[in-house]
Amino acid sequence: MKSLKALQHALADAGHQIDILEHEKDLPLFTGKMKQAGLLPLLPTQPEIFQVNVGKMCNQVCKHCHVDAGPDRKEIMTKTTMQLCLDVLANNPSFKTVDLTGGAPEMNPDFRWFVSEIKKLKRHIIVRCNLTIILANKKYHDLPDFFKQHEIEVVSSLPFYTQDRTDRQRGNGVFEDSIKALQMLNAVGYGMEGTGLLLNLVYNPAGAFLPPSQIALEKEYKDALLERYNIQFNQLYVITNMPISRYLDYLLVSGNYSSYMEKLIQAFNPVAAANVMCRNTISVGWDGYLYDCDFNQMLDLKIGCSGSDHLSNYSSSAISEREIILNQHCYGCTAGSGSSCGGAVA
Amino acid sequence: MADKFFAWYGEVFKDSALSAREKSLIALAVAHAVQCPYCIDAYSSDAYEKGWSESQMMEAVHVASAIKGGAALVHGVQMMNKVKSIAM
Ligand code: SF4
Ligand code: SF4
C-alpha cells in the first residue's frame, strides 16, 4: 500500500481536503458552534506540550492515518531543525512535556540524539511508538531499553485487542507484531506496577463510528490483554478519527462522509470544546513550521502568528496572544467525551 | 409515558450485572427474532461499535434463529395432539 501522496491522489493536497470539509453547506460551521458555546475566538492557555512531528516516514501505512505516513514519505526533520526545537525549549520553561510523533519517530536517523538532548533539558518525553517498529529491523530491537534509559512515556496505538480489527486498520501482521512488542516493553518494566515506566495504549474506531466510553473500554482491554497475552499497560486513550487525509478518503469512498460528520456534529460537547488540546500545545512540523495541533499541521493551517510561524522566529508573546485556527475537522475533537492525543477530555 | 419508557429503556442497557456490551449482543439477537428492521440496524451498529466481530454477531443471530425455529418445531406436538383429538 502507498501513501496518497505517492499515488498522486487529489486528497494528498491539503487545500483539496479543506474544500471538501467546507463544501457541505448543510453542516453547521464549527466556528458557529464555538461562538454559541462562548469559545470564539478560541484562545490558548499556558503552553505546556511541545509536540514535534519528526517526519512522515513510517514502516506502516494505516488506513486511517491523518499524516498520510508511509515508507514512501521522505519528509524528515533535520538535526538543524531539531537544534532549533532545543533552543525554543531551553528558552521556554513552561513546556513541561515534549511529545514526539511522526510517522514512526524512531525512523528519523537523529531520533536518539534528539531524545538525549531533550532529556538534558529535563523535560518529560512522550514517544508515539507504533510498536511494530521495534520488530521491523534489528537496529530497533533495543528500543524498549532505550526508552527505559531515558524514562520515556510510551504511547502506542492498538486499535483493538483482537487481530481482525487491528489488521484491517493497520495492515496484515500488525496485531501479531504489536503483541510481541508489548511483551518486550513489559519485559523491561513498561506498564508494570511500581516501575514508573508508563505504557499507554490508544484505541480508535476501525470504521465510520465514534469511540465508546474510555473507562469501560480500558477495563475490557486490560482483562483481554492480560488473559490472552499476559500483557499489562497503564491507561487506554480513546481517540476519535479525524475526517482528514486517509480517513477522509475512506469516508468518501465508503459513502460514510456525510453521516460521519453528522454524528460528530450531533455529539458536539461544549465541555470537551473548552478543553481541546490546541489550547496548551504547540505542534512543530518536520520543516520547523508551527501549528496549533498535528491535525492543522497536516491541513497546512499554520499558526496564526504572522512573522513568527517558524521555530527560527519563535515568539512566546505572539504565541500566547494568537487565536487558534479552527475549521470543520475540529468537530473531531469535540464529539462526546472529546478527543485529544491524551484521549478523552471531558 | 414516552419519557418513562425511554428512561427505563436507557436504564436497561446500562452496565450492571451484565455489561452494556453483552446487552448489545442480546439486543441484536432479539431484534432478529422479532424481525424489527429499525432495531436490527441500530444494534448491528451498536454491537459492532462495542467490539463484537461479524462472526460473533452472526453466531448470536443463529442462536436467536435456533430458538425461534426450535420453538416453531415443538409446536408440532400441539398440532399432532389437536389432530389426534379429532381424528377417528
Ligand atoms: S497511523 Fe501511525 S503507524 Fe499508522 S501509518 Fe500513520 S504514523 Fe504510521
Ligand atoms: S483539530 Fe486542532 S485546532 Fe481544531 S479543535 Fe482539534 S486540536 Fe484544536
Residue B9 inside a domain? The answer is: no
Q: Find the A37 Cα to ligand 2 centroid distance in Å.
A: 15
pLDDT band at A254 (very low <50, low <70, confident <90, very high): very high
| Residue A60, ligand 1, Cβ within 6 A | yes
Which of A220, A259, A262 best tests the B interface by mutation, with the highest count of B CBs <10 A? A220
Ligand 2 atom 5 nearest Cα: A330
Q: Which value does ipTM take for this structure?
A: 0.79
Q: pLDDT of A24-66, one tens digit each?
A: 778 999 999 999 999 999 999 999 999 999 999 999 999 999 9
**B7 in any annotated domain:** no
Cell of A322: 494568537
Q: How many domains does chain B divide into?
A: 1
**Which of A241, A283, A326, A341 is the pocket-test mutation for ligand 2 (most atoms within 8 Å of CB)?**
A326
B15, part of any domain? no
Quick: pLDDT tens for A116-129. Answer: 999 999 999 999 99
Atom of ligand 1 nearest to the CA of A68: 6
pLDDT of residue A330: 98
The CA A276 to ligand 2 mean position distance, Å, reads 6
pLDDT digits (tens, 9 = 90+) for B52-66: 999 999 999 999 999
| Pocket perturbation via mutation, ligand 1, pick of A5, A52, A65 by most ligand atoms within 8 A of CB | A65
Per residue in A71-108, pLDDT (tens digit) is 999 999 999 999 999 999 999 999 999 999 999 999 99
Which CATH number applies to A10-18+45-255+276-313: 1.10.510.10, 1.20.1630.10, 3.20.20.70, 1.10.287.610? Answer: 3.20.20.70
Find the mean pLDDT for residues A150-176: 96
Q: What count of other Cβ atoms lies within 10 Å of the Cβ of residue A246?
A: 24
User: Does the Cβ of A303 fall within 6 Å of ligand 2?
Assistant: no
What are the grid coordinates assigned to A199, written together? 505504557
Average pLDDT over residues B69-85: 95
* Locus of grid cell 496518497: A4
Q: Which amino acid is at A207?
A: G
Mean pLDDT for A245-257 is 97
pTM of the model: 0.93
Would the pLDDT of A14 be above 80? Answer: yes
pLDDT confidence of residue B44: 97
Q: Give the orientation angle of helix A174-187 with respect to helix A214-229, to 10 degrees.
A: 80
Query: What integer pLDDT is reported at residue A324 of this predicted model?
Result: 98
> Is B8 contained in some domain?
no
CATH assignment of the domain containing B58: 1.20.1290.10
pLDDT score at A233: 98
Domain residues for B43?
A: 20-87
* Chain B: closest CA distance from residue A224 (Å): 12
